[in-house]
Amino acid sequence: MSDVRQILTSDDNDAYAFVGKRDGQCYVSFRGTSDLAGWLADLESYNLAILENMSGQGIPCSHDGSECRVGKGFMDNYNSISAFVRGNLTAIGCLPPMGVTVTGHSLGAAEAGIAMYDLFQRGYKIKPTFTFGQPRVGDQAWADAFARDLGANTSYRITYHKDPVVHLPFLHSQGNEEHHGFVHLSTEVFYIGTVAGSPVICDGSGEDPECSDRFKDFPLMLLACLWDVSKCDHLKYMTAVKTIPMDGSSCTDGGGRGRLVDIVV
């Protein structure tokens, strides 16, 4: 990678991203949360799971007359660094209508989904990409608009075994209407048991019952992650090719920071 810039926030919200180039191609990557246990509790209790209108946050989005809505927590986190992500893409020579690949894990995967749509609206070409352990980001209008404008085969959601995060926010929530309506983006690519084997390419609905939705024991999955984060399936993506857990703190390489341009916002 070259021209790598690390974008941090002074806000207490865990927003954290990198922009850079590889072989002349432009990339944006959003880090997952550094406090998985706290974030899981927030998602389950709906602290992050209030649906919010995207157009009111500066990203025009609608489908068949319905405004797109995404999780307020995801939207707030992305908005806290979005201008700096776009500004640093420009600074390293990544300008519309150039192509850009956007990825992320966990909370960062949710932010990556919003970023793809935002950058698309601003004239960038969004290249096919993968996210890892992405929660449900928004409502059906959002998922339909994303597929219509970016293409159903632009973003693939990698899911792994009993990762509890991919089941949140709940598909059919109870309580206040503002919590209803979260759905997944398609298409899911599901690994069961190990990431060393071949994955299942799911049916494109975003909720294929033969993929991660086959697991119904959410309380046990959640408890496993809260009891011992190091054994949580949410942190085991790419274990065949890496030796560190996929948590936020592991993404901070103290020995390499001098080679980065840090942008604190």
Per-residue pLDDT tens over the stretch 135-181: 999 999 999 999 999 998 899 999 999 999 999 887 754 444 444 58
Instruction: Using the structure block, give the residue that is written with the tokens 């309380």.
Output: 219
Higher model confidence: residue 133 or residue 253?
133
Per-residue tokens: 8: 């941090």
Please compute the mean of the pLDDT values over residues 67-81 and round it to a whole number. Answer: 91
- pLDDT of amino acid 53: 92
Instruction: Say yes or no to pLDDT of 254 above 90.
Output: no
Burial 178-207 (b: 16+ CB within 10 A, else e): ebebbbbbbbbbbbbeebeeebbebeeebe
The string of pLDDT tens digits covering residues 97-115 is 999 999 999 999 999 999 9
Report domain 2-235's class: alpha beta
> Is 0.85 topped by the overall pTM?
yes
- pLDDT of amino acid 7: 93
Helix (H) or strand (E) holding 112: helix 107-121
